[in-house]
Amino acid sequence: MVTLNVAVLLAVIVFSRLRRRTHSRSRFDEKTTVVIVLALGVLLAPTRVGEGIMNILGQLASGVTQASR
């Protein structure tokens, strides 16, 4: 039996939706993509991968803040 992680499935959907041309998207299509990305973020946030991404983004933000001083 094959099991598929919901986060992986959403990541594939987001990747395929973002590869389409920008000018061919409707407002509803853009809103749907935003909702899917938010759902993916909620699923990834409590995982080890989500914490790693948050750590990297935090270090990047602090580096940019220190560089601007």
Measure Cα distances from 56 to 5, 33, 59 in Å: 23, 24, 5
Tens of pLDDT along 17-45? Answer: 888 776 767 888 888 888 888 888 888 78
Q: How far apart are the first and last CA of the chain?
A: 55
Give residue 4's pLDDT band: very low, low, confident or very high (50, 70, 90): low
Instruction: Return the number of other C-beta atoms located less than 10 Å from residue 32's C-beta.
Output: 14
pTM of the model: 0.58
CA distance 46 to 29: 27
3-state secondary structure of 43: helix
Q: Quickly tell me which residue has 């299509």 as its tokens.
A: 29
